[in-house]
Structure 1
Amino acid sequence: MAFVEIYRSADLAACEQRALVLDALAIPAQITVEGGVFALQVPEEARAAALGQLAMHEAENRARDMPPPRPRLHAHAWLGAAGYALTMFGIAWLAGGHATGADWYGAGALRGGFAHEGEWWRPVTALTLHADAGHLAANLAFGVFFGYFAGQMLGPGIAWLSVLTAAILGNVLNGLLMPPTRSSPVS
């Protein structure tokens, strides 16, 4: 029985995959190697059937070999990160007494029992208060870094709404669980 070559590749796995397809269809095949190149061979009388079956196999599997599409990134994600940074810097400056002279920490700190006292704003305002410059810098670094990438994936609006909602809910839970005499003046 004379064998003829129907496929050639430097990749042994590619030849083995095609030989497996032919084996499943009871078409005899062998792989030879010459000079680092692998050749898939079949009996001469099975050549047409083997080529037809391999063509069908490749057509069926072509779509599966394509990489998944890259996610669409939102180009304006930086706007959310910049808005976050400007808001945090602005509130830190105002809370430091530079503009109003008001006690922002006393008015906005999260306190246990806030819900009983009707001070519903405290879980929100506590997010903007920071103990010192290091605390502000750490929150900015984390927020800008992760907020930017979340904004690229989800869009800046959805990303920052999700972050804000989760943070507020975390503060609500914290405020409900802490004793009424305890205060958490910073985020």
Structure 2
Amino acid sequence: MAMEEAQQELERKEVVVGIWPSLQAACERALVILAMRRSCWVEEERPGSFALHAEPEDELAIRQELELYEDEESQRIEPVELPVFPPGFAWFSVWLAALVSVFIWQLNDPAVTGRFSNSSLGMIDQHEWWRPFTALFLHGGVGHLLGNLCIGGVFCVMVAQTLGAWRGWPLILLAGTLGNALNAWLRYPAAFQSIGASTMTFAALGVLVGVAAFRSWRGRSFLQLRPLMVPVMVGLIMLGWFGISGENTDIGGHFAGWSCGVIGGFATGRWIRS
């Protein structure tokens, strides 16, 4: 008789506040209860079924807290890591060879710079629509060339790793060309000219920003920006350092290239498979 009373007393002192199909899920809820400074314990009811037990006087508060926890879990969006594509060094090598070859051509024939530079009058009045593209391969000196190779190469490789080289490099060239064209059009009818791959460099930075913005918009969470936060922040710092200062800096071209890159990156962000 005494044993039966003891068993009844034990059963009265515990209630089941939930059952979950895995030990991990039950233990996660147990941590929630322990954080409330309430006692609980997990028992396996049967294979694949784990019950969470608690004191009867704590049942109502625990159930309310677990309900809030379940609501938060259902609304939580896990950040998804971006895939990393190969850096596309073959594409980079072709681009490097093209810039160096054109620079040697410029040294041997100074008239090349004038014939293929970005020109507002040449593009609009003379309908020389190739100028915004060819200007991306021209440079005013060795320092100008090396700066664009080093800085631009880093961001172009980042874009290749984010979108894939076969998508990233054409997108960068397109955004850089459109940035030059937009800059020349906005300067018209002034006799404006510019050269250099820096518009393409800032277009690459814009692509990274656009991809990050698309992921944030699609996931409805700024946590989706995390994989691209470092390159974006570094790029914005460099934009401030090199993009808007200097006597011969083409600020309009940099921002035009960056803007076109942002639009292009946002538009192509859906092609990233996570």
Interval of TM-score (by shorter of Structure 1 and Structure 2):
0.5 to 0.7
Structure 2 match to 1:93 = 104
Deviation at 1:15, TM superposition (A): 3.4
Residues 81 and 143, structure 1, Cα contact 8 Å, conserved in 2? no
Aligned residues: 153
1:34-53 aligned at under 5 Å gives the runs 42-43=54-55
Relative distance call for 1:30 and 1:145 in structure 2 (3 A) is same
Tell me which amino acid in the other structure corresponds to 1:110: N
Q: Offset of 1:82 from its aligned partner?
A: 2.1
Task: Specify which of 167, 171, 181 is matched with residue 176 of structure 2.
Answer: 167
1-structure distance, mates of 2:116, 2:89: 28
Amino acid corresponding to residue 105 of structure 1 in structure 2: T
Match of 2:215 in 1: none
Q: CA deviation at 1:130?
A: 0.7
1:9 corresponding residue in structure 2:
none
2:39: which partner in 1? Answer: 31
1:17 aligns with 2:32: yes
Please tell me whether residue 126 in structure 1 is matched to residue 145 in structure 2.
no
Deviation at 1:75, TM superposition (A): 1.9
Whole-angstrom distance in 1 between the partners of 2:189 and 2:134: 18
Which one has a larger percent helix, Structure 1 or Structure 2? 2
Distance in 2 of aligned mates of 1:179 and 1:162: 26
CA distance in 1, matches of 2:184, 2:133: 11
Q: Distance in 2 between matches of 1:130 and 1:169?
A: 19
Q: Which amino acid aligns with 1:42?
A: A
**Is contact 1:111–1:181 with CA below 8 Å preserved after alignment?**
no
Shift of 1:124: 1.2
Which of 104, 107, 131 in structure 1 is aligned with 2:115? 107
2-structure distance, mates of 1:14, 1:125: 62
Cα 1:30–1:161 shift into 2, 3 Å: same
Deviation, structure 1 residue 145: 0.3
User: Per-residue displacement from partner, 1:138-185 (whole Å, max 9, x unpaired)?
Assistant: 111122101111101101121111111111111112222324562424
Structure 2 residue matching 1:113: 3-state secondary structure: helix
The percentage of counterpart residues that share the same residue type is 25
1: distance between equivalents of 2:146 and 2:102? 13
Kindly report the root-mean-square deviation, in angstroms, between the aligned alpha carbons of the 2 structures.
4.0
1:144 aligns with 2:153: yes
Q: Which residue of 1 aligns with 2:94?
A: 83
Q: Does the residue aligned with 1:30 lie in a helix, a strand or coil?
A: coil
Preserved contact between residue 138 and residue 195 of structure 2 (Cα < 8 Å)? yes
Query: What one-letter code is carried by the residue in structure 1 that aligns with 2:117?
Result: A
TM-score, with structure 2 as normaliser:
0.45
Describe the SS at the equivalent of 1:117.
coil
Determine helix, strand or coil for the equivalent of 1:139.
Answer: helix
Which one has more relative contact order, counting CA pairs under 8 Å at least 6 apart? 1
Taking structure 1 as the reference length, the TM-score comes to 0.63
